[in-house]
Structure 1
Amino acid sequence: MNYHFITIEGNIGAGKTTLSHLLAKKYNARLILEAFADNPFLSKFYENPKQYAFPLELFFMAERYKQLKELIHTKDLFQSVTVTDYLFTKCLLFAKVNLPEEEFRLYQKLFEIIHQQIPQPEILIYLHVPVNKLQSNIRKRNRPYEQSIPDEYLFKIQETYTNYIKQHNLKTLFVDASNADFLGNEKHLQVITDALEKDHDYGQRYLTLP
């Protein structure tokens, strides 16, 4: 396995954290998970998006920056692989959906200053899950503030991610995760690990699960 920095991305409820845990265990990797629960504006945002979107996104960007910046300064002799369950560019993608134009332009300026200091993953695994399955996953994990997320919001996030991936020349494993069960079906995880053990060109490679 030639990749030392792997990032898993996807919509809300796509299964990013589950797959991150499994890959970290498989490759004895350092695991960096988004500390979303520490954001004091998250539940307030779902109740009143217009009022709390800007502080929500600023807090997320600051926390993600702090986590990923430490990658540069801390090397682990026993763990040569790092797995994260978010892409730093996620800041900009969610801000584009959540912020009005003037606030987004300001946020974008801050993002561009910070983004240059952050290491980029060698390969991105994007989990593409239909909105009805996302909603089912969200209900199952039962975080109270997520239970009223509208389908329209999830569609917007999905579209923003897929447009970004198409427009940027990242090494991306684009996984149809409609029926994904990485915990219960070893063959599903095997598809991902088999793909990670190959060298890929820049651009998207599409994977389906058995």
Structure 2
Amino acid sequence: MAQLPFIAVEGPIGVGKTSLSKKIAAHFKFQLLEEIVEENPFLGKFYDNIEEWSFQTEMFFLCNRHKQLEDIEHKFLRESKPVVADYHIFKNMIFAKRTLKEEHFRKYSRIFDILTGDMPRPNMVIYVHAGLDTLFERIRRRNRDVEANIQPEYLQQLSDDYETFMDQFEETHPDIPVIRLDGDRLDFIKHQRDLDYILEKVGSYLSKGEVIK
């Protein structure tokens, strides 16, 4: 049975998730859901001292993303409004596994399972990956104060974690198409031809009938 589109755009910090989500939403006339980032009061402290502030940071993100997922279900999907989001809540476990101490991760995992057990899943994922040079250039370009102290080692580990997670995601969710995009090669912000290529690719999946517009 065809499903109403719920597209999640994912990838490591700085890869351009929000910019791409906005362009997809505008092109297909979908509802846009943007991640709450800079409102997190712990994020700046987290990048200064990951070990000290990781649990507070991840719990804030989890609660806010859970609330946004409820909004997707009640305000959009139930009213037959397609959605594109610049994240999905499954990303929380990527970050939590990397940053939390073992005892904190056990607690966090239990809370995560309770909050997300009945939440809507995306029926298409767009995964954008890129090398460190590209990520740091785009982080520099958007100039967020809270990201000023991101360390290369952390960002590389995170990128590697994303690769591992997405490989596993495709194995465990064969019913959810994943569009992989090379952010080093495709600059959908600067070059219209790159954006057109992506929009055409997304449109071809929508037209297959697995999801409906």
Corresponding residue of 2:103: 102
Separation in 1, partners of 2:98, 2:26:
34
User: Which of 171, 182, 187 is residue 181 of structure 1 equivalent to?
Assistant: 187
State the Cα distance separating 1:190 from its structure 2 match. 1.6
Matches within 5 A, 1:49-198: 49-75=50-76, 80-168=81-169, 169=173, 170-198=176-204
Task: Deviation per CA, 1:100-144: give whole Å up to 9, x if none.
Answer: 111111111111111212111110001111011111111121112
Sequence identity, in percent?
A: 34
Q: TM-score, normalized by length of structure 1?
A: 0.88
| Aligned residue type for 1:195 | K
Separation in 1, partners of 2:18, 2:165:
21
Q: Is the 8 A contact 2:48 2:149 kept in 1?
A: no
Q: Is the 8 A contact 1:44 1:52 kept in 2?
A: yes
| Aligned residue type for 2:195 | L
Separation in 2, partners of 1:76, 1:108:
27
Q: Is the 8 A contact 1:3 1:123 kept in 2?
A: no
Separation in 2, partners of 1:38, 1:145:
10
| Aligned residue type for 1:175 | L
* 1:118 aligned counterpart, secondary structure: coil
Structure 1 outlier segments of 4+, above 3 Å: 75-79
Are residues 191 and 53 of structure 1, via their aligned partners in 2, closer, same or farther at CA, if it must alter by over 3 Å? same
Separation in 1, partners of 2:185, 2:203:
23
Task: Deviation per CA, 1:128-171: give whole Å up to 9, x if none.
Answer: 11011111111121112312211111111111111111112342
Corresponding residue of 1:41: 42
Q: After the TM superposition, which of the residue ranges 188-197 and 119-128 deviates more from structure 2?
A: 188-197
Separation in 1, partners of 2:78, 2:30:
11
* 1:197 aligned counterpart, secondary structure: helix
**Relative contact order (alpha carbons < 8 A, sep ≥ 6): 1 or 2 greater?**
2
| Aligned residue type for 2:192 | E
Corresponding residue of 1:21: 22
Q: After the TM superposition, which of the residue ranges 62-71 and 168-177 deviates more from structure 2?
A: 168-177
* 1:127 aligned counterpart, secondary structure: strand
Q: After the TM superposition, which of the residue ranges 11-20 and 76-85 deviates more from structure 2?
A: 76-85
State the Cα distance separating 1:59 from its structure 2 match. 0.4
Q: Is the 8 A contact 1:28 1:79 kept in 2?
A: no
Greater helix content: 2
Q: Is the 8 A contact 1:69 1:117 kept in 2?
A: no
Separation in 1, partners of 2:76, 2:100:
36
| Aligned residue type for 2:193 | K
State the Cα distance separating 1:178 from its structure 2 match. 0.4
CA RMSD of aligned residues (A): 2.0
| Aligned residue type for 2:55 | F
Task: Deviation per CA, 1:15-34: give whole Å up to 9, x if none.
Answer: 00000110110011111001
State the Cα distance separating 1:179 from its structure 2 match. 3.2
